[in-house]
Structure formats: structure tokens, C-alpha cells
């Protein structure tokens, strides 16, 4: 086998697609998985699995025989009560694994940040890697934690570590196991549970292209640089219309004013959750939809050769996977 890669987050959506690509390209893979993780996405793959989490004290020992690290794992939650866990996993966990990589003399690290860490432009215009919203303007603890985790990576670079940062936008495709918020939209569309939509926009990319972006960043990325892994800016309505074209199911035609889901989310999260009800709608999720999340990924296309596969193909694969 070729170069041995240590991968965190390999059981998740981006990580599982990356693991498959690495194996396909001749890498051998050692995957860090938490004791409670579902292993469905790694089933049947020739992967060495080691158990632990990002704050385990023995990560340097686990990485000893690896040359490169893909740090993909992150805790994703929009619930305000999980602020502490987001910080512990995303910020302290990143600090810990980068320190472990330094101790075990990992040659190069690709750190998976997110466009969440970059923020958004004013009036919905696309932003690139040079943009940075002030941390206090980032909506919710998840986005703030990803910003702070990225600062950990920059700090490690100043101390001599070879780290490239990638910032995926909104991936779609197969293996969306949790699912992601966008996968949730696709599922709700397929189940006919989406009678209306909010006016928002997002940048969408095939998850396989995101996986390639990671590998290309390893091969061609500049130390200390960040690269937006994105493709097409779409309104939510355009995304739903594409789903309609692919499936033949009708897309919702009515918009819903933002105050409606915001009120429901506040009732859900602040009134019913403390009474023991499982919440279904996070206030931060609704607040995010106020912003048009458009991005310019031309730097990654130009300098890494990031593929820009048709979004229709990715949506078709996502639908097939959710229906399987």
C-alpha cells in the first residue's frame, strides 16, 4: 500500500466519501472512531479502525505509522445547550489532534474547516477566502466553534506545522448518514413534508468533489492557506425545483415568512425542551436562513483543480441513497 493516512470523522458524510477516494487512489487508511459511532459508512472497506476521540491522550501513539492526517471530524449541532460540547470537541479537540500530529511527526495535515467559519457577505453577494465576518457576527455556537478551531490551525502553522485548511460549503450526495441539514431538506422533500420554503440561498457541491478537494489540498495546497470547496450558488427554491425535476414530485410554491419558523423554534427550544420534549427546530438554524450563504470557490478551482460536477448528479445520488 502507498502513503498511510490517519482520518478523523471517517464514519461521517464527508469523511466516508474521503476514505473511499483515498483507498481508490492507493492510500492506506487508519480511521479514528468514537466508541459510540455507527460504522455503517465504513462497512466492508479495507480500513484499520482505532477507537478514541479527539481529546484522547494517546492520539500521537495511534498516529505513529501514518504520514498524513485528514482532520475531518467535528461536532455539529445548532442547539444552544450544546455550546460547551461544541467547544470541547471542535476547538480543544482540534488543538489536541494537531499537537498529537506534531508529536508523531505527521508530514502534512489537511484540516476540514467550513464556510461557517468564514461568515457571509452583505446583501447576499458571494465571498471568497479573503472574507472574514467578525466572530460575534457568526450565527450560533457551531459557527463560532469552527472559527475558533480554524484559529488553532493557524496558530499551529506559525509554530512550523504544515497544515492546509479546506472550507466545504454544502455537500450533497450519498452516505449522508445523520443526515446533514441539506440532507434533511432532501428527505423532507421526498416524504412530502415540505409544503412551503423560506427565502434563503446556499452554495452546493457534490460530496465527491469535496473529497477530491481534500486530496488535492494535500497534494497542491499552500501551507497556511484556506480553500473554499464549493460549486453552485442556489436559492432554496432553485434547489427544490431541481429535486422536483429529478423525482417528478412537485416542489412547494409558497414561501413562509421567517417569523413563523422562528416563533415555532423559540417555543420548541426554550419552552418545550426544558419540559422534556425532544426539540425539532433550532432557533440558530432559523436565524442562519436569514442570511444568503453564497461563496466563490474559484481559488480552489484554479490552484487545486477542484472538480465542479453537476449538482443534478449529486442530488440524484443523494435521492438514491436516501431511498435505499
Domains annotated on the chain, with CATH: 4-172+205-232+295-307 (3.40.50.720)
Whether pLDDT at 48 is above 80: yes
Q: Roughly how many angstroms between the first and final C-alpha of the chain, as a whole number?
A: 32
Which runs of consecutive H residues, i.e. helices, occur in 25-92? Answer: 59-62, 83-86
Decide: 237 and 197 in contact? Cβ < 8 Å: yes
Tallying the residues shown for the chain, one arrives at: 324
Is residue 47 very low, low, confident or very high in pLDDT (cuts 50, 70, 90)?
very high
For residue 219, give the DSSP letter. Answer: H
Whole-number pLDDT of residue 291: 73
pTM, entire model: 0.92
Q: For residue range 198-227, list pLDDT tens digits in order.
A: 788 999 999 999 999 999 999 999 999 999
Percent of the chain with pLDDT over 90: 73
Percent of the chain with pLDDT over 70: 88
Residue 94: name the closest of 108, 109, 104, 106 by CA: 109
Whole-number pLDDT of residue 280: 64
Q: For residue range 232-252, list pLDDT tens digits in order.
A: 999 999 999 999 999 999 998
**119 Rama sector, left if φ>0, alpha if ψ -120 to 50, beta otherwise:** left
CA 243 to mean position of chain CA atoms = 21
Whether pLDDT at 184 is above 60: yes
Decide: 173 and 321 in contact? Cβ < 8 Å: yes
Q: Contacts for 19-22 with beta carbons within 8 Å, 24 or more apart?
A: 19/45, 19/47, 20/45, 20/211, 21/208, 21/211, 21/212, 21/214, 21/215, 22/70, 22/215
Whether pLDDT at 163 is above 60: yes
Q: For residue range 86-134, list pLDDT tens digits in order.
A: 899 999 999 999 999 999 999 999 999 999 999 998 888 999 999 999 9
Decide: 64 and 39 in contact? Cβ < 8 Å: no
Other residues' Cβ atoms within 10 Å of the Cβ of residue 23: 16
Q: Please list, in sequence order, all residues whose beta carbon lies within 8 angstroms of the beta carbon of residue 210, skipping any fewer than 6 positions away.
A: 14, 17, 18, 168, 171, 229
Amino acid at each position: 500500500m502507498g502513503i498511510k493516512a490517519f482520518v478523523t470523522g471517517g464514519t461521517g458524510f464527508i469523511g466516508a466519501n474521503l476514505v473511499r477516494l483515498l483507498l481508490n487512489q492507493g492510500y492506506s487508511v487508519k480511521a479514528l472512531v468514537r466508541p459510540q459511532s455507527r460504522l455503517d459508512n465504513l462497512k466492508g472497506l479495507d480500513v484499520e479502525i482505532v477507537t478514541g476521540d479527539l481529546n484522547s491522550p494517546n492520539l500521537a501513539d495511534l498516529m505513529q505509522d501514518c504520514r498524513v492526517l485528514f482532520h475531518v471530524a467535528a461536532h455539529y449541532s445548532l442547539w444552544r445547550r450544546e455550546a460547551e460540547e461544541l467547544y470541547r470537541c471542535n476547538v480543544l479537540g482540534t488543538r489536541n489532534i494537531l499537537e498529537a500530529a506534531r508529536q508523531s511527526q505527521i508530514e502534512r495535515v489537511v484540516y476540514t474547516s467550513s464556510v461557517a467559519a468564514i461568515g457571509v457577505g452583505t446583501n447576499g453577494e458571494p465571498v471568497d477566502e479573503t472574507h472574514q465576518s467578525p466572530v460575534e457576527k457568526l450565527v450560533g455556537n457551531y459557527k463560532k466553534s469552527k472559527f475558533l478551531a480554524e484559529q488553532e490551525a493557524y496558530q499551529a502553522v506559525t509554530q512550523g506545522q504544515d497544515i492546509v485548511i479546506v472550507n466545504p460549503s454544502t455537500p450533497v450526495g450519498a452516505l449522508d448518514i445523520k443526515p446533514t441539514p441539506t440532507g434533511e431538506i432532501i428527505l423532507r422533500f421526498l416524504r412530502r413534508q415540505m409544503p412551503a420554503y423560506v427565502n434563503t440561498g446556499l452554495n452546493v457541491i457534490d460530496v465527491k468533489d469535496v473529497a477530491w478537494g481534500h486530496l488535492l489540498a494535500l497534494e497542491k495546497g499552500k501551507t497556511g492557506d484556506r480553500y473554499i470547496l464549493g460549486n453552485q450558488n442556489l436559492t432554496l427554491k432553485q434547489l427544490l425545483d431541481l429535486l422536483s425535476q429529478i423525482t417528478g414530485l412537485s416542489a412547494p410554491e409558497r414561501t413562509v415568512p421567517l417569523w413563523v419558523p422562528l416563533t415555532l423554534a423559540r417555543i420548541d427550544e426554550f419552552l418545550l425542551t426544558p419540559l422534556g420534549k425532544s426539540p425539532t427546530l433550532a432557533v440558530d438554524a432559523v436565524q442562519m436562513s436569514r442570511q444568503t450563504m453564497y461563496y466563490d470557490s474559484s481559488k480552489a478551482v484554479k490552484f487545486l483543480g477542484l472538480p465542479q460536477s453537476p449538482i443534478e448528479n449529486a442530488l440524484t445520488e443523494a435521492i438514491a441513497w436516501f431511498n435505499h
